[in-house]
Amino acid sequence: MAITVKLIHKSGESLVGFVIRLASSNGLLSVRDLITNSKLTRFSMAKISKRDSLWFSNLLKRDFVFESDIPLLKNNRFFKSWRLTQPKVCFKCLQETGVLQDKWQHMHCLKCDIHDSSFITACPTCKTPLQWEVELLEGRCTNKECEQLLVDKNSNIPTLSSMEIDDCVLLNRILETQGNCFTQQPVYCDIQDINQVLSSNYQVLNNKVLFYDQVIKPIIKNSKCLYAYPSNIKLFSLKFLIQHLNKAWPILSWLADYFKKEKQVPSIFESYPEHWMRMQDIEEVLKFSREDVNQLYRKSLFKSKRDQYFIKGCTVIEISSLFYTLLGNSTKNRHNYQSYLKIHNKIKAYHTPIFAIIEAMISGELLYHYSSKHTLLESLFFDEQELIEFSKNWLLAHTSTSIGLDDFVSIFDVGESNIDALNKSLLLPDKTKLYRLSKLKRIALPNQLHRLIYKN
């Protein structure tokens, strides 16, 4: 069809939002008069495809480039992209600007940074999920029977970390699909009312009785969805796990009771040990690298049991000795101690891995306080100067270190034009010479560079 009014794409605007504005500017009452339903769904999903961009260029009579802010998470276990397919909006922004922002569709993004109010995916008045329709541009409900201006309703959405949001969404899939959710990894997330999903599943995750009745029991009974077995602690917030590491892990005692009563137990559950964590969860939740895990494993802070090392194709590792040891060597919290996360940015440049810091903590070389109340890295408190001094010395004592390209660029503020200058000033031997940034995957960064920068 011929389009009379052509528009300019606004900064941060989502593709589907742009299409809706285009439809509205051309006097169309529904965006479906401009494009078909199926195409609309595809637009709400991702970056524009080659074919769509040609279609757009033709339609708008100019070159059209659309870049999404939302990264595609190809390695995500549950979804390939954390983008909701249904509209999630700040109605205040819409009422002020009429522009649908692309970043709003990210599942981890729950609040508008301008208005500090929660995003909504359903009309607070009539409870109908919002659709991609022209009424959105004015901040109105898209249900033709309602069409009310979207308003503030006090919602009880807890403040959630990204990890907790993932847990809630995972749980939603487990419950909705009755444990059959991992046969196929969906590309996009089609939750209709995200706030409702978050608040109800957060309740289940944090209530022992609900969790046992709704998650553990059905899993044991049906032997479905092994990923949701309680030793997959990714299901819990780590805060919850660590608090319970000091006590009997309640779910395990429930399980023990359950096993006593039920004779028919699938064999995989029989020898399931205590505080196990899957390798990829250790990386994701504790933020350890493979190298960190290997080193800590060598120091017996992580353990594995023969024959049980691999369970259902996953490497699982026993982690409680790390936490017990940290707790055992912890000193009193001093007033000058600061959270590791706060200091982390300052020591990042020294590229001292966390395993080295943990070894020093346990050998008594570094004093620290371990509060065991939060996730691991949030729970560690240090004297800032002492930690920086340690990191500096660690770096200088090791012959070379390897640094990721992203870190390298952000720490040293390197652009393409600096590469030549760096090569010259560092007198690097040919094989360690830095090449064009775009071609580098990892850089073996010689100590020379660090020495140069941190010699004072």
| Shortest distance, position 118 Cβ to Zn ion, whole Å | 10
Q: Quick one: which of 314, 288, 301 has its CA closest to 232?
A: 314
Residue 142 or 401 having the CB closest to Zn ion: 142
Residue 127 or 221 having the CB closest to Zn ion: 127
Residue 288 corresponds to which tokens in the numbers above? 């350890």
| Shortest distance, position 148 Cβ to Zn ion, whole Å | 5
Residue 453 corresponds to which tokens in the numbers above? 């920068």
Residue 89 or 170 having the CB closest to Zn ion: 89
- The answer to whether 275 and 286 are in contact (CB under 8 A) is no
| Shortest distance, position 71 Cβ to Zn ion, whole Å | 22
| Shortest distance, position 111 Cβ to Zn ion, whole Å | 9
Residue 139 corresponds to which tokens in the numbers above? 């901040």
Bridge partners (DSSP) listed for residue 401: 445
Output b/e per residue, 377-392; b: 16+ Cβ within 10 A. ebbbbbbbebbbebbb
In order, the DSSP letters of 76-124 are -SS-S--BBSS--B-HHHHHHH---BGGGGBTT--B-TTT--B-BSB-T
| Shortest distance, position 371 Cβ to Zn ion, whole Å | 35
Helices 354-363 and 290-298 meet at what angle, rounded to 10? 30
What are the angstrom distances between the C-alpha of 159 and each of 89, 156, 211, 241? 18, 9, 20, 18
Residue 47 or 115 having the CB closest to Zn ion: 115
Residue 93 or 311 having the CB closest to Zn ion: 93
| Shortest distance, position 193 Cβ to Zn ion, whole Å | 13
Residue 115 or 224 having the CB closest to Zn ion: 115
Phi and psi at residue 347, in whole multiples of 5°? -95, -5
Residue 296: how many other CB atoms lie within 10 Å:
24
| Shortest distance, position 146 Cβ to Zn ion, whole Å | 3
Binding site for Zn ion (CB under 5 A): 90, 92-93, 112, 114-115, 123, 125-126, 141, 143, 146
| Shortest distance, position 16 Cβ to Zn ion, whole Å | 18
Residue 31 or 228 having the CB closest to Zn ion: 31
DSSP state of 137: G
Residue 153 or 290 having the CB closest to Zn ion: 153
